[in-house]
Structure 1
Amino acid sequence: MAPTYRAKDGLLAKVNFPLYTVQMLTGRHILVGGGGGSSKTGVANGFEVFELSHDGKKFIAEEVIRHETGPCVVMNCSTHSDTKHSYLVAGQESHCQLYHVRNVVLNENENIETINGEQPNLRHRKNSKAIPKEIVANNKQMKKLTFILQASDSIQTDYNKEEPLQRVVRISKNGKIMATVVRISKNGKIMATGGADGIVRLWKFPAMEHLIDLKAHTKEIDDLDFSLHDNYLVSIAKDGQAIIWDFLRGKEVRKLLWSQPEGSKFLYKRCRFGPIEEEKGQSALYMLTNPLGLARKQNSYLQRWFPHEGTLNKAVAIDESLAAIAVRDDGRFVAVGTMFSGSVQLYIAFSLQKVLHISGAHSMFVTGLEFLPVSNKHTVTSVAEAAVVSISVDNQICIHSLPYRTTVPTWIAISVIVLTLFLTFLLCAYLGI
C-alpha cells in the first residue's frame, strides 16, 4: 500500500465555473479553462491563469488574469513557447481558437489597461504580498508578471453532422525533425486536432493551415499526443482503437493490441508519451484503459507501451475507472485521476509502482492533471520530489506533492555493513567457531 499524504497540500484555488483543461504556461504559471457552455446559466466560460509559489509550508496560487470567452466553453487547450513567442490554442465548440500570449512585467501601481488600452475580456489580478522574491526589482519596487491574450485565427476542426465538437488539440514537441521537412512546416511545428467526426486533422502551426486528414477511426476521438523524440502521433477513439501514426508521412504505423481478459472489452481513455528516464532519446507511451459494458466490474489499467515495437511493457490494475493522466517532463513520474472517487495517484514511471494516493482529492471526476516541470529553472518543485496539479468539474484546482523520501547516505550504509561484519567476526572468535 502506497503512503497517503494530505498535510500541506490540497486546494489551491476555486473558480466559478467547471474546469476541463489545464496547462503549464510557464515554469510557475498554471492555466485552467472551462465554463458552463452556451446556455444561459449564468456560468462563465474562459481561462484563468494563476502564479504558483511556496511559502516554506505550503503551495500558494495567486490569480494573475481571467479571460472570458463569451458563449464558448473551453473544453481543451494546448500551449507552446519558443524563444520569441508564446501561443495558446483552445477548443471552443467545433472550432480551434489561436491566441498570442504576450508577457508583460508591470510595476506595482500599473495594470493591463494603463499599458495596452482596452481589454474587455481581461481581468488582471489584485496586488498581493505573495509575489516571489526573484521578480523584485533592484530599486525594491515590486514587479509582477502578467499576460495579455490576443485572439487570432479561428478554424473549424470538426465536421460532425449532428453536433460538431473539437475534443482534443496537441502541438508537436520535436522541432528538429519538423525543421527538416520544409514542405510541411517551415517553423517546425504541427498541430493535431480530433473531434466527434473521428478524423485526426494535421495543421501547420501557428499558421493554422490545413495539411492532411488521418482517417482510421469510426467514432469520436478521445485523445491525441505527439512523441518527444520522433515522428510519432498516437490517437485513441471510442471505436476501441489506439493507432500510432507517422505524422510526417501521414501514414499509419501500427495499431496497439493487447490480450484482454476473456469475455471483456476495454476502451482506451487517455494517452501520453514521455521520455524514458533510463534510456535517453527514447519514448514510452502511457495509456489508460477502462472496462466497457459487462466488464465494468473489472479493474481498469495503467499501461506502459514501447511504441517502436508496439509492445505492452508493463501494466498495473486499478480498481476504478480512470479519467486523466499526466507524465512529468523528465519521464520519472506518471499521475492518474479517477472517475468516481475523484482520487489522484502517483506512480514511478519505469516500474509503475504507486508512491502516492490522494483519496477523494475532488468531489467529482478528475478532468485534468499537470505536473510542475523540473526542466524549467523558474519552477517551484524543489520543495518536493514531485508535485502535480489536478482540476475537476467541482471548480477546484488542487495540488498534490510527493515529499522527498528519506534515504540513508551511502557512507552510513557501508559503515553499518562493516561494523556488522566486524561484530560477527568477534562473536565467532569468542565462541570458537
Structure 2
Amino acid sequence: MRVCHTLHQLSSFPVYSCAFLSSDELVLGGGGGQSRTGVKNKLRLYKAIAHKSLEQLDELELDKGEDLPMSMAAWPETKRVVCGINSSEEALKITSNQNCRRYALEDNKLAFETSANTLAVNTEDDDYQKVTVLSPDGSLVAVAGKHDLALLQFPSLEPVADPVHLEKGEIYDAAFSPTHLVLVTTVNLLVYALPAPSPASTSEKAAGKQRASALELVQQVDRPNLPGKDAGSSFRAARFHPQNPNILYTVINTVPPRTRTKNSPRRAFICKWDTNKWKVTNKRQVSDKGLTCFDVSANGKFVAYGTGDHTLGILDTQTLAPLSTILKAHELPPTVVRFNITSDLLVSGSADNTIRLVSVPDNLTAASWSSWIIVVVTLLVIIFAVIAQQMHLAAY
C-alpha cells in the first residue's frame, strides 16, 4: 500500500538520533561530530503534524568540542530526553566524561538538567554512547558504548547495577521487557534479569539513590541459522513487542562469502522470537544490504526499518509481511527510524541533512492484505482464462 510521506530538508544538520516527546513533538540530535567540519552539534525541537508539516521550535547548540548526540530516548510523561554526548577534550582535562545527559522541555525550550559518567574516552579508542534505551515504565535507562553497559535509574541517572563489560563481540543495542534486559551484541543476545530494588539507607532514599548490584545473566542466545550461504551473521538491533513481552524482534545482518566472481549480497533479516523458548518463530529477508536502523510501533502493529541502499520499509508485526516500501528515502543510508507515541507517524533521519515524515494509517495492515488478495484473485482469473483458451484451441 502507498503511504503519504514527505522529505524535509534541514539546514546543515546531519541527523543521527531522534525521539518523540508527544505525538507531534520531535527532538532531533545531529551535527558534524568532534571533527572540525564546521557543522555544529545540536539538539533541535520540531513540531510535526502528519507528514507535510515540520516547524522548528527550538535549537540547543552544544559546547565547542563536544560530540554529537548519537543515541537518544524520551519519556513523554515528564517531557524529558536522555542522550549520549561525549565531553570535549578541554572538559576531560578537568573532570570525567559526562556522556549521559538529561534534558527537559519547558515552554517549548530544551534545557540541560544533569549528566553522568558511564564511559571513559581516550584518543586511542573512539568510544561513544551508541545505545540509549528506556524501560517500559520509565524507571530505568540502559546506556552503552562498544563494550560497556550501564543500567541507571531514570530520571536521576544513578547506577542501579554494576556495569557490564563485554569481553567478546561489540554492543549494538539493548531492549527492555518488564522483567528483563536484552543486551544485543554482534555474537549473541545476553538476557539479564532486572534487579529488584535493594534496601537503601535513609540518606540514599532522600537522595533518590539505590544500591547497585550485579546483573544476573539468565540466558545467552546464539545467532540462528539463516537460509542461504553466508560467511556468518551478526545481531544489530532488538525490540520487544510492546503488548507482549514474550515476543522479541531482532535484526540480523549477514556477512557475504568471499568469491572470485561478483560480490555476494549482504543480506538482512528480521526475526521474530518466542522468548519463552528462545526460538525463532518467523523470519523475513528484507534487503540485500545491511539494515541500519529499526523500530517497533507502540501499538504493536508495525515494524519499521532502514537499509544500506537508502530504503525505508514497514512490516506487519504478526506475519512480517511487507506493508509499505519507500525506495531512495534519502540520499544516504537512514541513521534512525522512530514511530511517534500514537503510532500514526514515522520519522526517518539521515546524515544527508534530511528527515522523512511518513503518515501511517491505522488500517495499513488490513489495506495491504486487501491489496494482496486483489492481486492474487486477479492472477488466478488470468491463469484460468489462459487455461480455458488453450483447452478451447486444443478442442479444434
Q: Structures share a fold, TM > 0.5?
A: yes
2:105 maps to amino acid: R
CA distance in structure 2 between the partners assigned to 1:205 and 1:158 by the alignment: 21
Counterpart Cα distance in 1 of 2:289 and 2:218: 31
Deviation at 1:235, TM superposition (A): 1.3
Provide the C-alpha distance between the structure 1 equivalents of 2:171 and 2:285, rounded to a whole number of angstroms: 24
8 Å contact from structure 2 (residues 118, 150) kept in 1: no
Instruction: Please say if 1:194 is aligned against 2:144.
Output: yes
- Aligned match of 1:157: 119
Residue 106 of structure 2 corresponds to residue 103 of structure 1: yes
- List runs of 5+ in structure 1 lacking aligned partners: 105-145, 176-188, 376-380, 382-386, 408-433
Q: Which residue of 2 aligns with 1:91?
A: 84
State the secondary structure of the residue aligned to 2:162: strand
Shift of 1:159: 5.6
- Counterpart of 1:76 in structure 2: which amino acid? S
Of 213-222 and 354-363, deviating more is: 213-222
Q: 2:285 aligned with 1:303, yes or no? A: no
Give the AA of the match of 1:66. Answer: E
Q: Deviations over 1:118-149 (max 9, x none)?
A: xxxxxxxxxxxxxxxxxxxxxxxxxxxx1231
Tell me what 1:121 maps to.
none
The CA deviation at 1:96 is 2.6
Looking at structure 1, the residues matched to 230 and 347 of structure 2 have their Cα atoms a distance apart, in angstroms, of: 37
Instruction: Summarize the Cα distance change of 1:263–1:78 in structure 2 as closer, same or farther, 3 Å threshold.
Output: closer
2:12 is equivalent to residue 16 of structure 1: yes
8 Å CA contact 2:346–2:358 kept in 1: the answer is yes
Q: Distance in 2 between matches of 1:363 and 1:195?
A: 27
The answer to whether 1:30 aligns with 2:23 is no
Cα pair 1:356 1:402 within 8 Å, conserved: no
Return the alpha-carbon distance in structure 2 between the equivalents of residues 171 and 101 of structure 1. 15
Residue 338, structure 1, aligned to residue 318, structure 2: no
TM-score normalised over the length of structure 2: 0.75
Residues of 2 paired with 1:226 and 1:30: CA distance?
22
Question: Could you tell me which residue of structure 1 aligns to residue 155 of structure 2?
Answer: 206
User: Is the alpha carbon distance of 1:270 and 1:314 closer, same or farther for their aligned partners in structure 2, counting shifts above 3 Å?
Assistant: same
Which one of 215, 220, 244 corresponds to residue 255 of structure 1?
220
For residue 252 of structure 1, what is the amino acid of its counterpart?
L
The residue aligned with 2:234 is 267
Alpha-carbon distance in 1 for matches of 2:245, 2:114: 35
CA deviations on 1:51-109 (whole Å, 9 max, x unpaired) are 0124xxx5201001011112221111111243xx33221111264342341332xxxxx
Distance 1:402 1:86, change over 3 A: closer
Partner SS, residue 257 of structure 2: helix
Instruction: Give the whole-Å Cα distance in 1 for the aligned partners of 2:172 and 2:60.
Output: 26
Instruction: Please tell me whether the aligned partners of residues 14 and 351 of structure 2 are also in contact (alpha carbons under 8 angstroms).
Output: yes
Q: Quick check: 2:150–2:164 contact (8 Å CA) kept in 1?
A: yes
Residues 255 and 103 of structure 1: is their aligned pair in 2 closer, same or farther, counting only changes over 3 Å?
A: same
**Cα deviations by residue, 1:185-206 (Å, 9 ceiling, x for unpaired):** xxxx12211112x122212222
Name the residue aligned to 2:322.
Answer: 354
| One-letter amino acid of the counterpart of residue 74, structure 2 | T
Identical-residue share of aligned pairs (%): 22
Aligned twin of 2:387: none
Tell me which residue corresponds to 2:348: 390
Match of residue 74 from structure 1: 69
One-letter amino acid of the counterpart of residue 206, structure 1: P
Determine the C-alpha separation between the residues in 2 that align with 1:283 and 1:68. Answer: 41
User: Out of 189, 197, 200, which is 1:242 matched to?
Assistant: 189
Contact 1:20/1:76 (CA < 8 Å) preserved in 2?
A: yes
Query: How many angstroms apart in 2 are the aligned matches of 1:11 and 1:162?
Result: 36
Cα deviation 1:304-335 (Å, max 9, x = unaligned)? 11223211111001232111111100111100
Match of 1:135 in 2: none
CA distance in 2 between partners of 1:346 and 1:294 (Å): 28
Q: CA deviation at 1:253?
A: 2.0
Q: Which of the numbers 225, 234, 239 marks the counterpart of 2:175?
A: 225
| Structure-2 change in CA distance of 1:36 and 1:370 (3 Å) | same
Q: CA deviation at 1:402?
A: 4.0
- Answer yes or no: is the 8 Å Cα contact 2:21–2:80 preserved in 1: no
Aligned residue identity for 1:393: A
CA separation of 1:321 and 1:309: change in aligned 2, threshold 3 A: same
Which residue among 37, 43, 49 is the counterpart of 1:47?
43
**Which of 296, 301, 305 is the equivalent residue of 1:327?**
296
Q: Report the CA distance between 1:172 and its aligned residue.
A: 1.5
Q: 1:310 to 1:215 in 2, by over 3 A?
A: farther
The aligned counterpart of 2:136 is: 173
Structure 2 matches for 1:409-428, cutoff 5 A? Answer: none
2:106 corresponds to which letter in structure 1? N
Q: Give the deviation of 1:241 after TM superposition.
A: 1.6
1:263 Cα deviation after fit: 5.3
Which residue identity does 1:320 align to in structure 2? K
TM-score with structure 1 setting the length: 0.69
Distance 1:212 1:308 in 2: 26
1:230-283 superposed Cα distances (whole Å, 9 cap, x missing partner): 211111223x2222211226112212231244553101111112224xxxx544
Match of 1:400? 358
Question: In the TM superposition, what is the alpha-carbon distance from 1:36 to its structure 2 partner?
Answer: 0.5
